[in-house]
């Protein structure tokens, strides 16, 4: 229960800061998941040379 707007803001803002921190870590993980195989294979960024 929040008695003042200040209470509400302190609660939601602190939660959002934690969420933002988690988001940043998750985003790095997601980006590594997305690009890991490119880096490993060292494939050029040229679609014409790719075999599908």
Alpha-carbon distance of 20 to 47, in angstroms, equals 35
For residue 47, state whether it binds other proteins (rule: CB under 8 A): yes
For residue 7, state whether it binds other proteins (rule: CB under 8 A): no
In the complex, what is the shortest distance from the CB of residue 29 to other proteins, in angstroms, rounded to a whole number? 10
Which residues fall within 8 angstroms of residue 3, CB to CB, at 6 or more apart?
Answer: none
Of residues 41, 18, 44, the one with CA closest to residue 10: 18
For other proteins, the binding residues (CB under 8 A) are 8, 11-13, 15-16, 19-20, 23, 26-27, 30-31, 33-34, 36-37, 46-48, 50, 52
């Amino acid at each position: 229960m929040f008695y003042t707007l200040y209470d509400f803001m302190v609660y939601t803002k602190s939660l959002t800061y934690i969420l933002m921190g988690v988001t940043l870590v998750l985003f790095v993980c997601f980006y590594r998941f997305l690009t890991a195989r490119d880096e490993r294979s060292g494939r050029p960024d040229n679609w014409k040379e790719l075999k599908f």
